[in-house]
Structure 1
Amino acid sequence: MNADFPLIAASKAVSRLPVHAVHGLAGTSFKHEHLAAILDDRAPQGFFEVHAENYMGAGGPPHRALETIRLEHAVSLHGVCMSIGSPQPLDRTHLARFKALVDRYEPALVSEHLAWSTHDTTFFNDLLPLPYTEATLARVCDHIDQVQDAIARPVLLENPSTYVLFSCSTYSETDFISAVAQRTGCGLLLDINNVFVSATNHGFSALDYLANFPIARVGEIHLAGHAEQADDEGEQLLIDSHDGPVADAVWRLYEIVIGRAGPIPTLIEWDSNIPGWPILKAEAAAAQAILNRRDGQQTWDKSRAA
Structure 2
Amino acid sequence: MDRRNQTSIYEFLLVGLSERPEQQPLQFGLFLAMYLVTTVGNLLIILAITSDLHLHTPMYLFLANLSFSDIGFVSTIIPKMLDNIGSGSKLISYDGCLTQLYFFGLFADLDNFLLAVMALDRYVAISHPLHYAMTMNFRRCILLVTGSWVVTTFHALVHTLLVMRLSFCGPNIIPHFFCDLVPLLNLACSSTYVNDLVLILVAGTLLIGPFICILTSYFYIALAILRINSTKGKQRAFSNCTSHLSVVSLFYSTAIGVYLCPPSSPSGGKDRVFSIMYTVVTPMLNPFIYSLRNRDMKGALGKLLRRKTL
Shared fold by TM > 0.5?
A: no
**Structure of higher RCO (CA pairs closer than 8 Å, 6+ residues apart):** 2
TM-score range, shorter chain: under 0.3
* Structure holding more strand per residue: 1
* Structure holding more helix per residue: 2
Q: Which structure has the bigger radius of gyration?
A: 2
